């Protein structure tokens, strides 16, 4: 019985990884880590302030969502950029549909949110003097 309980507990931990409602703090943290890694890969100095600015802007944008569904759509829009490049649309839609987002909603959101997300990076870029 103890093993059955442990197996069930393990499944509860594993299953949400593929279809959980995303948590803002986790996605923003992943986004900041990816930003720092990319800046280091391009040998850009002072990635900390830039990546902090980007993550704060993203956090603010997610926080402005009208409801929980819109929050999830915005988080999945951010998460889409963090997924491996070989992730297919079908794989993304399978995960988002399990999180309660229809394929057409996610497709539209990815198009509309592209520019909002791009603005985080351009607005936070150091200004040439």
Query: Which pTM does this prediction carry?
Result: 0.79
Q: Let me know if residue 96 belongs to a domain.
A: yes
Q: Let me know if residue 6 belongs to a domain.
A: no
Domain range spanning residue 92? 23-124
Please state the domain count of the chain.
Answer: 1
Q: How confident is the model at residue 14 (pLDDT cuts 50, 70, 90)?
A: very low
Please, which contacts does 64-70 make with residues 24 or more away whose CB atoms are closer than 8 Å?
68/21, 69/100, 69/101
Write the CB contacts of 40 (distance below 8 Å, at least 6 apart in sequence): 47
User: Is residue 8 scored above 60 in pLDDT?
Assistant: no
pLDDT in tens, 52-111: 999 999 999 999 999 999 999 999 999 998 999 999 999 999 999 988 999 999 999 999
User: Is residue 36 scored above 60 in pLDDT?
Assistant: yes
Q: What is the mean pLDDT of residues 43-56?
A: 90
Q: Let me know if residue 13 belongs to a domain.
A: no
């Amino acid at each position: 019985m103890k093993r059955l309980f442990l197996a069930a507990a393990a499944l509860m931990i594993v299953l949400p990884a593929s279809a959980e409602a995303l948590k803002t703090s986790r996605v923003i943290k992943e986004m900041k880590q990816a930003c720092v890694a990319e800046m280091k890969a391009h040998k850009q100095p002072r990635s900390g302030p830039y990546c902090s600015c980007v993550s704060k802007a993203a956090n603010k944008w997610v926080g402005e969502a009208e409801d929980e569904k819109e929050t999830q759509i915005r988080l999945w829009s951010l998460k889409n950029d963090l997924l491996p490049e070989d992730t297919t649309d079908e794989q993304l839609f399978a995960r988002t549909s399990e999180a309660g987002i229809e394929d057409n909603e996610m497709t539209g959101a990815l198009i509309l949110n592209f520019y909002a997300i791009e603005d985080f990076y351009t607005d936070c870029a150091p200004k040439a003097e």
